[in-house]
Amino acid sequence: METIDVQREGGIVTITLNRPEKKNAANGTMWAELLATFREIGSSSADRAVVITGAGGAFCSGADLWAPADGGPPRHQLSAMRHITDVALALHRIPQPVIAKVRGVAVGAGCNLAFGCDLVVASDNARFSEIFSKRGLSLDFGGSWLLPRRVGLHRAKELAFFADIIDAAEAERIGLVNRVVPDAELDAFVDDWAERLAAAPPIAIAMSKRMLDNAMGVTFEQALEDEGSSQTVNFGTKDTPEAIKAFVEKRAPVFEGR
């Protein structure tokens, strides 16, 4: 691909945003390549965990507002934005667990690309900003939905209104990231998490992910019903008996996802 690099090994898909000269700002080509890749991963049983990161010491500096037009007919602004929101939705729909591995800047849509992942691991040199208001823009790429769920309504408004840049330690303190590690340890830490997720039961993990994503929009009764339905599915797979057998035999289970 032209703007992203996709590598697969041991059930782990690593997506590297690859426009380092622009701090991996997303142009139209990158949005299209991310959309196709997210949809491909979502339909793959061989892909068990996903890592999203950036090349050249930055995660993503947001949308490339100065990217040249693609030469096609002018597109209505709402239509253009819906193309970008399709990418955010495709990321949200991936059933596999997704880790954002963040070095350097993650701002604007790049910030919300990270927060749209299931887990966020940041280098101690990472910096985050909902930069939109400083560009005369409002939140996008899911930020209006993601931020209140991560940090609460009033903190979300603070991040959106002032658009301040916050460092990794502050992001961890307010609950935006799961872990902050020294930059030299970031790759090894994320590799370990990704390997553990790739070895986990994919159907069970996918259903837990979906229930947690839906948790703030359902009643307690509906959540319990969803849990019951999910466990019924799990008991019908080969993975649950394998987990029980492995426990009895004192070995690590081998999950097949079926």
How confident is the prediction along the chain (258 residues), in pLDDT tens digits per residue? 999 999 999 999 999 999 999 999 999 999 999 999 999 999 999 999 999 999 999 999 999 977 655 555 566 677 778 889 999 999 999 999 999 999 999 999 999 999 999 999 999 999 999 999 999 999 999 999 999 999 999 999 999 999 999 999 999 999 999 999 999 999 999 999 999 999 999 999 999 999 999 999 999 999 999 999 999 999 999 999 999 999 999 999 999 999
Domain residue spans of the chain: 4-198, 202-248
User: pTM score, two decimals?
Assistant: 0.94
Reported CATH class of domain 4-198: alpha beta
Answer whether 4-198 and 202-248 agree in fold.
Answer: no
CA distances from 105 to 76, 146, 170, 181 (A): 30, 19, 14, 15
CA dist 89 and 34 (Å) reads: 11
3-state secondary structure (DSSP) of residue 204: helix
Amino acid at 98: V
Query: DSSP labels for 145-185?
Result: HHHHHHH-HHHHHHHHHH---EEHHHHHHTTS-SEEE-HHH
Query: DSSP labels for 58-93?
Result: -SB--B-TTPPP-SS----HHHHHHHHHHHHHHHHH
H or E element, residue 143: helix 143-151
Choices 3.30.70, 1.10.12, 1.10.287, 1.25.40: CATH for 202-248: 1.10.12
CA distances from 250 to 26, 202, 233, 243 (A): 47, 21, 25, 10
